[in-house]
A and B are shown apart, each in its own frame.
Chain A
Amino acid sequence: MKRIILILKNDIKRRLKSPLSILILLIIPVMMTGIIGTVFSPSENKMPKIRVLITDNDKELGAKVFIEAFKSPQVDMFQLELVEENKGRELISNNRGSALIIIPSGFSKNLLKKNKTNLLLIKNPSEQFMPNIVEEFSKTLSILLSGAIQVFEIDETLINSIKGTNMDYKSLITMLPMLKKNKTNAEKFKKLMTYLNPPLLEIKKEITGKKTNNTGINIFSYILPGISIMFLLFIIEIFIRDILSEREDGKLQRMMFAPLRACEYITARILSGWIMGILTYLIIVLIGKLIFNIDWGNYFFLFILIIITCFWIASFFALLNAFFKNRNQAGAFVAPIIMIFSAFGGSIIQTNQLPEAVRWVSALTLNHWFIIGANKIRSNIFPTTPILILLISGIILYIIASKALNKRIII
Chain B
Amino acid sequence: MKRIIHIALIDLKIMVSDKIFFFWTLIFPLIFIFIFGNIYKDDNVKAKAELVIVNKDVGKFGKYFEKKIESPDILIKSLKKEPVDYNRLLILPKDFSEKIKSRKPQQLLFKKNSNANVKAATQIEIKIIQGITKTITELLINSKSDDFFDNKIDFKDIINIKTINLNENSIKMPSGFDHVIPGILVQFIMMMVLVYGGIVVMMDRQMGRLTRILFSSTSIPELWAGKFLGRLLMGLLQAFILVFIGILFFNLNLGNNILAFLIILFFSMAIASLSILFGSVFRKEDLIVGMSVMSANIFAALGGCWWPIEFVPQTFKTIGMISPAYWAMDGFHKIIFFNKSLSDITLNIIVLLIYTLIFTILSIKFFKIKE
B350 to chain A, nearest CB (A): 18
Number of residues on chain A facing chain B (CB within 8 A)? 93
B166 touches A89 (CB 8 A): yes
B61 to chain A, nearest CB (A): 10
Alpha-carbon distance between A111 and B20 when the two chains are bound, in angstroms:
64
Contact of B159 among A21, A146, A333 (CB under 8 A): A146
Report if B301 contacts A (CB, 8 A).
Answer: yes
Contact of B158 among A18, A92, A121, A150 (CB under 8 A): A150
On chain B, which size bracket covers the interface? 35 or more
A105 to chain B, nearest CB (A): 15
A95 touches B133 (CB 8 A): no
B161 touches A353 (CB 8 A): no
Alpha-carbon distance between A199 and B135 when the two chains are bound, in angstroms:
12
Closest residue of chain A to B28 (Cβ to Cβ) is: A339
Contact of B136 among A114, A132, A147 (CB under 8 A): A147
A residues near B36, Cβ cutoff 8 Å: 349
Alpha-carbon distance between A132 and B289 when the two chains are bound, in angstroms:
40
Alpha-carbon distance between A328 and B8 when the two chains are bound, in angstroms:
23
A121 touches B155 (CB 8 A): no
Report if B32 contacts A (CB, 8 A).
Answer: yes
B290 to chain A, nearest CB (A): 3
Contact of B107 among A130, A204, A332 (CB under 8 A): A204
Alpha-carbon distance between A237 and B126 when the two chains are bound, in angstroms:
48
Known: A28-B297, A127-B310, A202-B106. A209 touches B159 (CB 8 A): no
Report if A39 contacts B (CB, 8 A).
Answer: yes
Closest residue of chain B to A51 (Cβ to Cβ) is: B310
Q: Chain B 296-326 against A: per-residue CB contact (8 Å), 1 yes, 0 no?
A: 0110011000111111111010000000000
A residues near B19, Cβ cutoff 8 Å: 328-329, 332
B residues near A201, Cβ cutoff 8 Å: 100, 105-106, 108, 132, 135-136
A188 touches B123 (CB 8 A): no
Which one of A40-48, A161-169, A387-395 contacts B? Answer: A40-48
Q: Tell me whether chain A's interface is mostly helix, strand or loop, or mixed.
A: helix
Closest residue of chain B to A189 (Cβ to Cβ) is: B140
Alpha-carbon distance between A353 and B116 when the two chains are bound, in angstroms:
8
Q: Chain B 152-177 against A: per-residue CB contact (8 Å), 1 yes, 0 no?
A: 01011111111111110000011010
Known: A128-B176, A352-B117. A38 touches B316 (CB 8 A): yes
Interface residues, chain B, with chain A CB atoms under 8 Å away = 18-20, 23-24, 27-28, 31-32, 34-36, 38-40, 43, 100, 103-117, 119, 123, 125-126, 128-130, 132-137, 139-141, 143, 153, 155-167, 173-174, 176, 179, 284, 286-287, 289-291, 293-294, 297-298, 301-302, 306-314, 316, 333-334, 336-338, 340
List 22 contacting pairs A-B, 8 Å CB cutoff, sorted by A: A24-B291, A35-B301, A39-B316, A93-B167, A93-B338, A94-B338, A125-B165, A127-B310, A139-B126, A140-B126, A143-B134, A147-B134, A195-B103, A198-B105, A200-B103, A200-B139, A201-B135, A205-B125, A206-B110, A207-B112, A209-B113, A343-B31
Interface residues, chain A, with chain B CB atoms under 8 Å away = 18, 20-21, 24-25, 27-28, 31-32, 35-36, 38-40, 46-48, 89, 92-95, 98, 110-111, 114-130, 132, 135-136, 138-140, 142-147, 149-151, 188, 191-192, 194-196, 198-210, 238, 328-329, 331-333, 335-336, 339-340, 343, 348-349, 352-355
